[in-house]
Chain A
Amino acid sequence: MSITSSPSVMERDLRIDFFRGLALFCIFIDHLPNNFVADFTLQSVMFSDAAEVFILISGLTAGMVYGRAMERQGFVIAGVRVYHRVWQLYVAHVFLFMMFIAMVATTVGALNSSLYAEEFGAANFLDEPGVAVAKALTLQFQPAFMHILPLYIVLLAVLPFVMAGFRSWPRVILFASFVLWLAVQLDKRIALSVYPGPDGVWPFNPFAWQALFFLGVWLGWRGTRGEVSWLRRRWLFCVAAVLALAGFVIRFNWTLHDFYDPIPVLVSGRPLWLFLSKTDLGLLRFANVLAVALLVARLIHPQAPFLASRVARPFVICGRNSLHIFCLGILLSVLGHLVLNEFFGGIPMQFAVSAAGVAIMISVAALMEWFAAAQGTPRGGALGAPTAGRGARG
């Protein structure tokens, strides 16, 4: 069972599993309403939050898994594997949407008779559920919490073509990807609309977020083989360290200010808003996650003893079963919402709900690990899923 003892895990990168697990816990906790614990997740110490970590790691993983598949099995097989994964994600999206609709159906009576009927009635989907279902199937309707999967789906759907491009003209493709991101920063009209309109947009603009994902793909495919030597330059490390430290100081100061107003704000947020857009992956969010990723890559060994320790294990196993645990986390945050709004209970209750949710996520991940081991099947292989640093466990 112990993954460290297997010789074939030589290439296994535990950092990926660990930090993806961390991101999954943060996504769950951040989604709980008015949650005190959410003030202690990634977003309180850096400009980026768990979404950037999740998308960057997903890109790295996809690059490693499908890059290798493309080299060994060819473009077509690798492409089919990617689309198999897209299908899985799509099914997961539809599954989550069913849960959402079920929740709406049970609360819609209360809603229509509530004090807020006039204002919340403006959410057209209550009037025309049929349209809402159709729009959800086309990814145009993204209710609360259902934003990351549609982004991931469209990014993966274009991945085979981008990878084919990487094979021939890596610089051109990377440059084009960056230019597209830059174009979004300069012109906010480059966006996809969502239902119900008229002025809704995808909460994660794929034209901007693709830059982070495909940079991850390229690094996962080429960077890990030492082909990107400038990544190890000393000056780059220094720049990343300064960026991450500045991000920490400024952002954590805001967190403290939010806690207790008299704590002065060191750097006003207003001039930075332009660069802090989550929808369009603003410059500071983009730079901060890359800086932290570079520091992690340089400072933490892929098989660092801590990552293989018991303390890190809950993170690692959740990160390794990321799609299932991600979906579970979304369901749990919806349930947590209902619990927190029904019973309230202040900070102790927020702690309890956060802890219970994380415990359930870990238990399910442990169960999946146990089941996979009991069956003796290589994890992820059968599903074609990039579950970790490698597509299949040794």
Chain B
Amino acid sequence: MTPNFPHHAIVLISAVIIGLLSAPVKTFGEERECPVPERFYEFEPPLTKTAKALAAGREVVIAALGGASTVGLAAGGPNLGWPARMSSVLAGKFPSARIKVVNLAVARQTAKAAVERFSRDVFPLKPTLVIWETGTMEAVRGTDVDEFRETVQAGLNELHTAKTEVVLMNMQFSRETDAMIQFGPYLIAMRELADANDVPLFRRHGIMRYWAENDFLDLRTREAEKRRQLATKLYDCIGHAMADFVARGVTAAKAATSPGSDR
């Protein structure tokens, strides 16, 4: 746009970008059916408070907020939802720690309704970490994006005041709905929120798209039983991925606070 921006610089930047994006992807959990590329985890801020609580041997309460996909409805119930799956994976990763995962999700809950529940349902648990899955209802209903952003920001402020660590989780990806419901603006809003508040964002939409794109998980079926199985597998994959995500956040925090590091 500006004439003084050298042309070769644009070419160079584009080349670097394309190079970065098309570089062979290192993935996480290679051995599983649903690996997650490194790019979804890289550069996310560390989970300092959770790491401290774990190091001190305190009980770590992780509260999961969200909608039907966090409840685990499509698989049959909360014991098959991703929070429960994450819980068992985390128990394996941190065998000596006391980690308690509480699933507070309610189907069709808006961000606003979730924030209103904070003081009643969330804070009494004294959670170390809140994983907040949100955005779906707003996208489906066409809520004003600015209002959604304000709501989530207010929620993040409250959690910050309560000294609770937060991980945001965005929407699910599905081939059927992507052309009908515009997730784009809400996905961007959540990325901006995560960025501005220095809060980690678990990019479920991108990860699920990656799985669909690479045939790890094709979630299309019309049979009820098969659908239940697929949902179970999906939530298991998300649970694993989220456990990896949390573990990485904890490791990064340890690295940052350990002596000799000036970060």
Contact = CB atoms under 8 A, between A and B. Distances in A.
Contacts of B212: 344
Interface in B73-114: 73-74, 107-108
A142 B180 CA distance: 11
Nearest to B184: A33
Contacts of A100: 180
A125 to B, nearest CB: 9
B58 interface: no
A110 B222 contact: yes
Contact of B181 (A123, A142, A269, A342): A123
The winner among B108, B182, B227 for most chain A CB atoms within 10 A is B182
Contact of B195 (A262, A269, A334): A269
Contact of A119 (B69, B142, B143, B149): B69
Interface in B180-223: 180-185, 191-192, 195-197, 206, 209, 212-213, 219-222
The winner among A119, A123, A279, A280 for most chain B CB atoms within 10 A is A119
A122 interface: yes
B121 interface: no
Interface string A273-287: 100011110000000
Nearest to B175: A341
Interface in B149-203: 149, 172, 174-185, 191-192, 195-197
16 contacts: A33-B179, A107-B179, A107-B180, A115-B74, A115-B219, A116-B176, A118-B73, A119-B69, A142-B142, A200-B142, A261-B42, A269-B196, A279-B145, A338-B179, A341-B178, A347-B18
Interface string B16-38: 01101110000000000000000
**On chain B, which size bracket covers the interface?**
35 or more
A119 B177 CA distance: 11
Contacts of A237: none
Contacts of A364: none
Interface stretch (A191-199, A209-217, A219-227, A386-394): A191-199
Contact of A114 (B1, B43, B174, B192): B174
A123 B179 contact: no
A194 B2 CA distance: 40
Contacts of A269: 192, 195-196
Contacts of A145: 182
Interface of A: 33-34, 36, 45-46, 100, 103-104, 107, 109-111, 113-120, 122-123, 142-145, 188, 191, 194, 196-201, 203, 245, 248, 256-262, 265, 268-270, 273, 277-280, 334, 337-338, 341-342, 344, 346-347
SS of B interface (majority): helix
Contact of B140 (A33, A46, A119): A119
Contact of A115 (B2, B146, B174, B179): B174
B141 A199 contact: yes
A369 to B, nearest CB: 29
Given A337-B179, A346-B213, A122 B146 contact: no
Interface in B43-80: 43, 67-69, 73-74
Q: Which 8 A-B pairs have the closest CB atoms?
A: A261-B43, A337-B179, A270-B196, A118-B68, A200-B142, A344-B213, A115-B74, A144-B182
Contacts of B17: 259-260
Given A114-B174, A344-B213, A119 B179 contact: no
Given A188-B146, A260-B20, A346-B213, A119 B176 contact: no
